[in-house]
A and B are shown apart, each in its own frame.
Chain A
Amino acid sequence: MIRIPGIIATLLLTALVAWMGCDLFYRGASGLHAGYLFEAPRNLGRSGGIGPMLASTGIIVGLATLLAGLVSLPLAVAYTELAAPAGLRKIIRSALDIGVGVPRIVWGLFGAAFFGGYCGFGFSLLSGVLTLACLLAPIMTTGFITGLEMVENEVREQCAALGVDSWQTAWRQVVPVALPGLTAPLALAAGRGCGDAAALLFTAGVAMQMPSSLLDPGATLSVFVFHLLGTVPGGQNAAYSAAAVLFIITLVIQLAITILTREERYAQ
Chain B
Amino acid sequence: MFRWSRERWFWAGAIGLGLLPVLAIVALAIFLFWNAAGAAAQIGPRELAAAEWLPQQNRYGVVRLLAGTLAVTALALCLAVPVALSAAGFLSLYAGGKVRAAANAAIGLLGGIPSVVIGLWAMTWIVPLFGNSWISASMVLALMIAPTICLLSGAALRLVPADLLEASRALGVGEAIVSRVAFHHARWGILGAVVLGTSRALGEAVAVSMVAGNVVSWPSLTRPIATLTTTLIVELDSAAGLHRDALYLLGCIVLIAISALSVFGRAAQRKAGI
Contacts and interface: CB of A to CB of B under 8 A. Distances in A.
Interface of A: 1-3, 5-10, 12-14, 16-18, 20, 23-24, 27, 68, 70-72, 74-79, 82, 92, 94-110, 112-114, 134, 137-138, 141, 165-167, 170-171, 191, 194-198, 201-202, 222, 225-226, 229-230, 236, 239-240, 243, 246-247, 250-251, 253-255, 257-258, 262-265, 267-268
B116 interface: yes
- The 9 A-B residue pairs with the shortest CB-CB distance in the complex, in nearest-first order: A6-B90, A103-B203, A75-B18, A195-B114, A101-B262, A137-B21, A167-B10, A1-B176, A9-B87
Given A18-B106, A225-B120, 8 more contacts: A1-B176, A2-B86, A78-B18, A107-B28, A167-B11, A195-B114, A198-B205, A264-B151
Contacts of A100: 262
B63 to A, nearest CB: 21
B94 A3 contact: yes
Name A's interface SS. helix
B233 A99 contact: no
B106 A134 contact: no
Given A165-B7, A171-B10, A265 B155 contact: yes
Interface string B70-101: 00000000000011101111110111000001
B211 to A, nearest CB: 11
Specify the main secondary structure of chain B where it touches its partner: helix
Given A74-B18, A109-B232, A267-B152, A167 B120 contact: no
Nearest to A112: B236
A10 B91 contact: yes
Given A14-B103, A98-B259, A141 B21 contact: yes
Interface of B: 3, 6-7, 10-11, 13-22, 24-28, 31-32, 35, 82-84, 86-91, 93-95, 101, 103-121, 123-125, 143, 146-148, 150-152, 154-155, 158, 175-176, 179-180, 196, 199-200, 202-206, 210, 229, 232-233, 236-237, 247-248, 251, 254-255, 258-259, 261-263, 266, 274
B90 A78 contact: no
B102 to A, nearest CB: 8
A198 B229 CA distance: 10
15 contacts: A6-B89, A7-B90, A20-B117, A24-B117, A75-B14, A105-B205, A105-B254, A106-B254, A113-B35, A229-B119, A236-B123, A243-B120, A247-B113, A257-B108, A267-B148
A2 B115 contact: no
B205 A104 contact: yes
A56 to B, nearest CB: 15
Contacts of A98: 25, 258-259, 262-263
Contact of A77 (B14, B26, B105): B14
Contact of A254 (B6, B103, B108, B203): B108
Contacts of B236: 108-109, 112, 202
Given A71-B18, A195-B112, A225-B120, A102 B203 contact: yes
A103 B208 CA distance: 13
Contacts of B20: 71, 75, 137
